[in-house]
Structures are given as structure tokens and as C-alpha cells.
Structure 1
């Protein structure tokens, strides 16, 4: 297969300067919500003002673009656009454990640099808790290191135009939150991509290249289609981390999975489905065997720009607005609404194993729907975690999700739901949002979506009553079902991202019923 290449970029920032001049002079209004990460930007009649570096230069501080290896220490002010860690490594010299946190800090459209903070576990943990993406920081007396002295800089850290990197430790230099009057001036740099505006793959290009892109880092410009709940993961090495799946879309593809790991989940706080465009620089491309498709994930090199101020992003946003109802209609099942054309449950009798269900990926045509019965164990049923991962606020009129971050305004253009308050207004309802895993002797089906009404039938309790239960009762309720033998009726649909599974019915069964269907090893 021919490997498609994005438009070539020569490593110069000429197009950055050109784009910034366009933004300053353009009559195109600012279409994005610029209050990202709880910061503000200066606007003039709806236009973004990209200020010159001299406006930010403070006495005693150096501009990032002026940092060079002939300097020993430097002090800078900038906004955090990327964060990785905290991490622990074993020192090659003393063999003791060292802790570090890496930040990418920016003070101009074309000037950003990596800063590594070193120290004891307590110091680094405290620093990580205090410093988040979007925070403006004051870095004093940082040591300067030439990138060429550390080969891992480009391999494991975000790309930067600077030839140097900075080092701060608990006994050399300092890094603090910056709280001067001009702190809001730095927010504009959150909306300028760290790569050239046209240096990206379309989602269709990634799928077309297939495994030719396996393990490669690419840039993506796409809109947020759906945000899945945050999950805590235990890695193979026993470390706890967090991940969050995001569905993206663009002019070429209706759904593509991006998995955010660790600190990259901080970006999500300002994202709205079908209303936010992102430029994701250096995401890693992999083939997902379960979904049988290419997916993207963040790593230590990734920098994500929310609502990029570029003409390409504006065009994509306009397109998404025109396709809103089309894209959302394809995800009706994800909102928990069962299909109107589903057959009677009693008529579904074909029994398959997990392995056979996964095998359907190679035979089902896109958008084709199949129904099956599976006898298995309920291997994941997390109903005693955080409420936000189990329950959701929905519009009482159209049943679409509404969010506190948007003042509970219904985003459905065909609904007159209006503005809601969290309490004291019956127009906001609470519903279940539960995914389960089903396992048999051949494998596991992950992320089987359980529509709200099915979840209520299984639990035997309404969402509002469930919300009031103490965690101990939720845990007891979970263990009434977790690892129990069940018979599940599934609806299967092949989408571009892979196979989508929806639970139409789920009931406990005895060992005898499993034996009848040849599942003696379950």
C-alpha cells in the first residue's frame, strides 16, 4: 500500500509568522471559546491579538528564543503547554531513585522549551499537583543544557524549536506560579499549534496507511466527537495511571479513537463534543486488534492544542457544525437509546463465544447489524467508583447528556431544553452510563454498552436512588453480579473504528444452562 505523506514542512516557522499576521488582521471572528484552562485572552472586536514577545519581557528574565548554550543559568516566564510525569528513574551513578517532572513552557508563538524538574519524591509530587497545563510559571536560575548532550530529548520529549533544555532541582533554581497582572496575556499561546498549521494527517489518511504507520508519531487536526469516562489503569509493571478514550472526526472520517494517557487527560476539561477542534502534535499510531482498526494514543512527546487559531481549524469547525446531526445520529446507541428496528429479544437465539464474536469483524460489512446470545462471566461491573463514571446528567426532553461545564445547556439543536441548574430544576434528569466486560473460556469482550433502561433493570434501582447509596451498599450490589454466570443478548454493529457492542438483555444463569451450550470450561 502506498504510504501517504502529509504536506512537507522544512522545520521553519515562516508559516507560523504568516498565520499570526492573518489572525491579527483577518475579519474572520474568533469562533472558539477562548476561556480555556480558566484563563482569559485579550480580544479586540472578536479578533485574537497575538502580541509580540517584547510585551512579555520582564526585567531580569530572558526570552526563550534567546536562550543558548553559552549561558549557564536563566530565568524565564511562560505558560505550560505540556506536562509529563511525575516519574522515577534509577540513577546510573549512585543507583538511587530519582524523581522528575517534565514541562513544556512557551512565551511566544515560535518559542517554547522543555523544562525537567528533578528532586525527591515529595518535592516532585507537590510540584506536579500544583502545576497544570495552562498555568503560567516563573522559572528562576534554571540550568541550561544543550539538546545534543542528551540523545533522549527528541526521542522521549516534545519537539521544541529551542536548541536547549532547562533543568531545575530542589537545590538549584525554582519554579513557581506566576501571578502578575499580565498573566492572562499568555493564554493566547495555548491556541497556537506547536507544528506547522498544515503539517497533519487526515483521519482517512491514517486508516489508508494502515500498519505502515504502526508506531509512528503523526500530527492530527480533528474535532471532538465523544468523550468517554476517565478510567484508572494498573499497568503490567504494577503502576497506576489514568486513561481516557476520545472519539474524533473530521471531513474524511466520522469516528477515530484517540486514547489520552496520564497528564494529557488535563486537556479534556474544556472540550465539548462537536464544538471543539484540537491539533494533536506527535500522537503515536497503533493497530488495535480488538477494534481491528488504527488508533492513536498520547505519550511523552505529545502536545495538544485546544481550539487552534488557524484557518484549517476554522474550516473544520464550520464543517462539523453542518454535520452535527448526521454525526450524532450515527451514535444514537452510544447515548443509550436502543434501535427502533431491533427484533424481539425472544427471537434472538444464535449463541456465539467471545472468539466467534471477534471473528465477525472480518466478515461483517460496515454498518451491518447482527444479534447474538453469549453465555459468560460478568468480568467488569464498576458501579462503586466515582458517580461521574456511572451516572450522567441528561436533558429531560431529548435525553441527551448535559454538562455542568456548559451550565447544563442542552447541545441538541433540535431540542428546546434551554439552561438548567444542577439542583432545584426538574428539567435535568440523571441516568446510568455503564459499560461491562463479558468473559468466557475464549476471551473477553470489553466496553459492552448497557443502555440506561437495561442497567436499571439489572440493578433494580432508579438512578437517583442509586446516587444516594453509600459506597458500601454500591459495592455489595456490585458483587451480586460481578463474576456471576450470565446470559447476555447483544447487538453488534461494525463501525469504522471496529465492532460496537450493546447489551439488550442480561440475566444470571445457573451452571446447568452453561453446560447445555457446551461451556464446561467457563
Structure 2
């Protein structure tokens, strides 16, 4: 085989054409299906085997590849590489794709063509050239769809069964992956199969099932680190699970999963800030007084989390509903103008797309202990729902007296507050505080932890 380092020998995917002679293509595998078999119409009693995959060689171009052959060749070829590998394909057949059939069962690609790899005429090998790999591997983190065109999990839940059967894009984080929960089965015709369910979450939904049936998809998701991995899932099929009475997403032959996608920094930072860090309560153990956390925020430019046993000294629940529950743009999280039903952010990445909104609690609370007060702490979304014991829709239907009763359940009561402090040059205090979890505190737990803090609890005037 020719030297892999000779990049000029490779034909870019964007230049491929049926008239291209003996093409040589290098790309990174971004998607792959399992091997399937069908009865051979020409050779009665024998099966033909096939599988497909998708390769990418530039930010904007990728193409589907298929291969047909006997059991030995197809399974041997399929087992030789996985998603994330860089490969070199020599002398594939460049064929015009059937746009209706191919786009229905395969990932939608910008190319008018598809590649076919055969045992008689083609060769596929793993690329070992470092220079080529360094050029191709970053493409794994570029979504194959517009990064602004996605549904949040809250959008899916809000639309409910109206999305049943639709194929959509999803941006979410991995909550849990349990390889020991893979279920193996045998179909009525003797075919073996498997199923693994991954739990996703974002700032609007705490747990959402993603179902994987293909061995290739299961192999990919098993490598993901829960609570540290974000996924852009292109063309996931949405369905309604009547047994569990919930919506689900399923990986199918069109789906491309992009791990930790590389896109607009504003959207990325917001997602990390409001999703990944919101999931970190289980690992938070440091206890602070209000004065201690203020001091740490002044001395530390990094985000940090902690616990404070403080009184809720401001909780405005019995005023205007519009000040308690707000709608925000799903793309940039800016508040939606209720009158015009438009995003208030002129630089919103979804400006050219139909407006989709996420509605939920949007509160600012004050927490106070004997050392001082931490003002304007954000208490939003599902954290607020868990704290108050009702959804935002249920709260909107409560009477004023019922809302006031919820308010006084917490106001001036000692609470255990998990918080996240983020440096902010736009805030007068130089920081932003987000509540990660809040519940009425156990007196014994308060006494034990406050005693441990001891003399370090110096009052702040």
C-alpha cells in the first residue's frame, strides 16, 4: 500500500464522483451499523451479509459506505475497526445514492454519492499515520447536524406523544451507563440480539432513557463517563413507552452520536454550567458558613460547590406568577419576550429557526446565617420543583393562599443548601450562587456540622 503520509494521494469526499478512477479515501469513522444477513436470491440456501458505516474527512463532508459479501469477509471486515478509528479505503465503487432509500435508512449526508467496498476490488485498512490522524480525529467532535437544531429533553417531554415516531436531534448529558444491565435475547427466527438503556439528563429533565439495540452503539456508549460526557445525538427516533408511560429515544441506523461536541462556546458553557455541575450534589461534602464561602469566592477564581446550613430569608412565591415562572429560549437560555413570543437575545444562535422555549421556575432567594447573608441565589428548574414539591404547572394552578403556605414552609427555616459559586464580573458581589439542592435541615445534623466549624464562624457586619 502507498505511503499514508502522502495526503495528496487521497481524494477528498467532496470531490468524489462515479467517474473517479481508483479513488483512495481517508476518513474517521463517525457511525457504524451491525452486520446483517439476507437470503441470497441467486444461491438458494445461502445468505448474503452486509453492514454500513459513515466516514468524515472534513468539517462539512462525510459519506456513507456499505459492503456486501460472504460471512467470512463481512464479519472479518466489520470486526477490524470501530467508531473513532481512522481508516483508508482503496478503490471503492463510487455510486449515486438513492436519496429516498439511503436517507431513510442511513445517516443523511451532504454527498450525492455513496461508497461500496467489495472483497474483489477494494481494500480497507487502519490509518497509522500520525499527521493524518491528527487532522481527522478532531472531526469526531463536530456534529453532523446544525448544532442549533436540537430538542432539549424538556422540549421532548413538553411535546409528549405528538413526537412519537419522529426523528430528531438531542443535546443532553450522560447520567448513567450500566453495562451489567445489557439484556441478551434470541428472536423467534434464531437471531441473537442485545439491548442497553442509557440514562440522559439536562437542566430540564433529571432522567431520560436512550435505548441502544446495535452492538456498535452499545460498544460506544459503554465507554462514556457519566456526569462528565455531553452527547449531540443526530436523528434519534422518539417513541412513547406505554408500559412505563414515558417518552424514550432510540438509536437507529440513521443515528450519529457525537461525544462532547465542539460548538458555540456560549451554548457549551451554559450547558456545562447548568447541567453537568448541577448533577454533582452527590460528591459535595464541604460545609461553609456564609462568610466563609464569600471569603473563598474572593480568594478563588474557580467554580466551587459546598453546603451551608442557613435560613431562607427571602422567598417570593406569593407575588405575580410571571416573576416566579419564566420562559427561556431553548437555544441560548435568554428570557422570552412574552408579548412578541421572541427571544430577547439578538445574537441567539437559533435566530433563523422556529422559537422553542423551556418554561420553569426562575427564582432568586436569599440565605442567611449568623455570619451574613448571601443574596440573589438562583433557584431554578427541576431543583426548584424538587424543593417546593410541585411542578411549575401545578404551582401556577394553586391559589394565593396555597402558594403562601409553601412559602412559609421554608421562609425563616433552617435549610441544608447545596450551592455552586461561579465567579462573575457582572455581579456586584463578584460571584453568582446557584442552588443545587435545598431541603429542611435535620437539627442533629446542623448541630454536628456547625460545632465542627467552631470558632471559624466569625460574624460579618
1:279-428 matches, within 5 Å, as: 279-311=232-264, 312-326=267-281
**1:255 maps onto 2:207 in alignment:** yes
> Contact 2:203–2:278 at 8 Å: present in 1 too?
no
Whole-Å separation in 1 of the counterparts to 2:269 and 2:50 = 38
Q: Does 1:140 align with 2:95?
A: no
Any gaps of 5 or more consecutive residues in structure 1?
1-54, 330-365, 369-412, 415-522
| Aligned pairs for 1:66-77 within 5 A | 66-71=15-20, 73-77=22-26
- Residue 270 of structure 1 aligns to a residue whose secondary structure is coil
Alignment of 1:86-485 (within 5 A): 86-92=35-41, 96-148=46-98, 151-182=100-131, 183-229=133-179, 230-262=182-214, 263-311=216-264, 312-326=267-281
Residue 61 to residue 325, structure 1, CA distance change in 2 (3 Å): closer
Q: TM-score, normalised by structure 1?
A: 0.50
Is the 1:141–1:174 Cα contact (8 Å) retained in structure 2?
A: yes
In the alignment, the residues of structure 1 paired with residue 5 and residue 173 of structure 2 have an alpha-carbon distance, to the nearest angstrom, of 32
SS in 2 for 1:85: coil
SS of aligned partner of 2:78: helix
* Residue 321 of structure 1: how far off its partner (Å): 3.5
Shift of 1:151: 3.7
Following superposition, the deviation at residue 257 of structure 1 comes to 0.5
Deviation track 1:155-181 (CA, whole Å, cap 9, x = no partner) reads 111111111000011112111111113
Give yes or no for contact 1:197–1:310 (8 Å, CA) kept in 2.
yes
Q: Say if 1:302 and 1:145 are closer, same or farther in 2 by CA, change over 3 A.
A: same
Q: CA 1:170 to 1:200, structure 2 compared with 1: closer, same or farther past 3 Å?
A: same
Distance 1:127 1:99 in 2: 11
Q: CA RMSD in A?
A: 2.6
Q: Find the residue that maps to 1:59 and give its secondary structure.
A: helix
2:13 touches 2:61 (CA, 8 Å); kept in 1? yes
1:202-253 Cα deviation digits (max 9, x unpaired)? 1111112222211111110000011122332333443212222111111221
Contact 2:29 2:85 in 1 (8 A): yes
- Matches of 2:151 and 2:189, distance apart in 1: 33
Secondary structure of the corresponding residue to residue 275 of structure 2: helix
Which residue does 2:444 correspond to in 1? none
SS at match of 2:110: coil
Contact 1:215/1:286 (<8 A) preserved: yes
Q: 1:200 and 1:92, CA in 2 relative to 1: closer, same or farther beyond 3 A?
A: farther
Provide structure 2 residue ranges, at least 5 long, that are not aligned to the other structure: 285-384, 390-418, 421-461
Q: In structure 2, what is the Cα distance between the partners aligned to 1:103 and 1:215?
A: 24
Query: Contact 1:254/1:327 (CA < 8 Å) preserved in 2?
Result: no
- Asked whether the 8 Å contact 2:63–2:115 carries over to 1, the reply is yes
Contact 1:275 1:317 in 2 (8 A): no
Q: Which has the larger radius of gyration?
A: 2
2-structure distance, mates of 1:255, 1:56: 46
215-224 or 229-238, which moves further after superposition?
229-238
- Which whole-Å deviations, capped at 9, do the CAs of 1:284-304 have from their partners, x for residues lacking one? 111112210110110111100
- The reply to whether residue 82 of structure 1 matches residue 31 of structure 2 is yes
Greater mean deviation of Cα atoms: 232-241 or 132-141? 232-241
Assess if the C-alpha contact under 8 Å between 1:139 and 1:173 holds in 2. Answer: yes
User: What's the offset of the Cα at 1:327?
Assistant: 8.2
- The CA distance in 1 between the partners of 2:136 and 2:269, in whole Å, is 22
Deviation of the 1:309 alpha carbon: 0.7
Given the two structures, how large is their TM-score scaled by the length of structure 2? 0.57
Following TM superposition, by how much is the alpha carbon of 1:326 offset from its aligned partner in structure 2, in angstroms?
A: 4.9
Name the stretch that deviates more: 295-304 or 318-327: 318-327
